[in-house]
Amino acid sequence: MLHALILASPLTPLEDLLRDVLKWLGPHGTIGLTWAWSIVALTIIVRLLLVPLTVRQIHSMQNLQRHAPQMKEIQKKYKADKKRQQEELMKFYRENNINPASSCLPLLAQFPVFIALYLVLKHFPHEPGDNLEWLGLWNITDKASAGWGPVLVAVYALSQLASSYFMSATAEKSQRIMLLILPIVFIPFIINFKVGLVLYWMTTNLWTVGQGLITRRLMPRPAAPEKRSSRTPPKEVATAAVATEPAPAPAKPSQPRRVKRKKRARR
Amino acid sequence: MRVALRAPTYLGLGLVHAWRWSFGLLSRGSCKYHPTCSQYALDALDEYGLVRGSILAGWRLLRCNPWSRGGVDYAHDQRLFR
């Protein structure tokens, strides 16, 4: 309640803008969608505006994956000192012209949009007699705990899980687990939101999933071939040596080498 | 007395902690700076008070965008205020 009061006034312009777009999309506007579908359309518009940003993030993510082996080495080297580890990683970024994938501002920028939409949907600009249903199951002005609402919340939680899965492609294991648990923790709060807001959240998550699927298909992860190439050289050298010189002598030194490698891997 | 004077700062610190324990949890590990923006905000508020700390934290958030380079950046090393 307090944060709503503090944020209400600076958010008014954003709120007005969102309301205007929603009205333009809505049943009395130019496009003439139902209110529920205009929320979906509004979400898609917001996400479309963010696409250039996402493309940039994907590029830097690939760059990051290309340098993954070296970064892992740094992480291993400063395993005991987390602070030093972070600092060394940052230095490595700077030296190799890497731009870490994500940053705080875009994430935080979505937050005011969400709150503004919450406020817009609270005093929804509908007229009596408007169709407020979505797929005949949900009324967007209802609480998500009413009627079929929990089903929508479940779908939302699944979409959140799926989008977290794509978002956490480079995150650490412990963080990934956190990302998977949180949607479930959020359910008791989300069930008290209005269906319209859950609809927005669900749509934005599904968009993230779609984006993730497309980018994965278009750009196969560079990390996998990198890994292979870092392992294959000794083998290639060995096979090349065998191929060019049929004598068994040069093949011999490669065998103890392999044993050593295995031992290192076990440690 | 000192605690009373620092009350506004505690409000700011409380808000950052509230963020960290709610939506911040979803966006963990996404800051390109070290320390992260929220840690920077806590440090800045603690050292420079609510007004200057908030300005520093806000400026840091604006810098934490897809076009910046990131890096090591402590609140203590700020050059906005003397």
pLDDT for res A8: 55
Exposure class string for B66-76: b at 16+ Cβ within 10 A, else e? beeebebbebe
Structure tokens at A188: 């008791």
Task: Using 50 as the pLDDT threshold, list the residues of chain A that sit under it.
Answer: 223-267
The reported pLDDT for the residue numbered A238 is 42
Is the CB of residue A96 less than 8 Å away from at least one CB of chain B? Answer: no
Contacts of B54 in chain A (CB under 8 A): none
Give domain status of residue B82, yes or no: no
CB < 8 Å to A90, chain B:
33-34, 70-72
A93, A107, A172 ranked by CB distance to B70: nearest: A93
Which residue ranges make up each domain of chain A?
2-221, 233-266
Is B21 part of the contact surface with chain A (CB cutoff 8 Å)?
Answer: no
Residue of B nearest to A99 (CA): B69
| pLDDT for position A118 | 83
- Chain B residue with CA closest to A97: the answer is B69
Instruction: Name the H helices within chain A.
Output: 2-25, 35-49, 51-66, 68-77, 82-95, 104-122, 149-167, 173-190, 195-218, 223-244, 251-266
CA distance A240 to chain B (A): 43
A106 touches chain B (CB under 8 A): yes
DSSP string of A128-148, one letter each residue: TT---EETTTEETTSBTTSTT
Q: Is B38 left (phi over 0), alpha (psi -120 to 50) or beta?
A: alpha
Residue B77 touches chain A, beta carbons under 8 Å: no
pLDDT tens per residue, range B24-76: 776 666 788 888 899 999 999 999 999 999 999 999 999 988 788 777 889 99
| Alpha-carbon gap: A202 to the closest alpha carbon of chain B (Å) | 15
CA atoms lying within 13 Å on the CB side of residue A101: 20
Question: Over the stretch A78-123, which tens digit does the pLDDT of each residue have?
Answer: 888 888 888 888 888 878 877 765 778 877 877 788 888 888 877 7
The SS3 assignment for B64 reads coil
Count of CA atoms in the C-beta half-sphere (13 A) of A193: 23
Residues in chain A: 267
Q: How many domains does chain B have?
A: 1
- With tokens 């937050």, the residue in question is A111
Its domain, for residue B28, covers 2-77
Interface predicted TM-score (ipTM) of this complex, two decimals? 0.83
- Res. B14: pLDDT tops 90: yes
Rounded-to-integer distance, Cα A203 and Cα B78, Å? 40
The answer on pLDDT for B16 being more than 90 is: yes
Beta strand A133-134 with B71-72 is unpaired
CB B33 within 8 A of CB B60: yes
B70 at the A interface (CB within 8 A)? yes
Name the pairing type of β-strands A133-134 and A138-139.
antiparallel
Which pLDDT tens digit goes with each residue over A191-211? 988 898 899 989 988 998 898
Q: Which token pair is B8?
A: 């506004």
- The amino acid that residue B61 corresponds to is L
Q: What is the pLDDT of residue A100?
A: 66
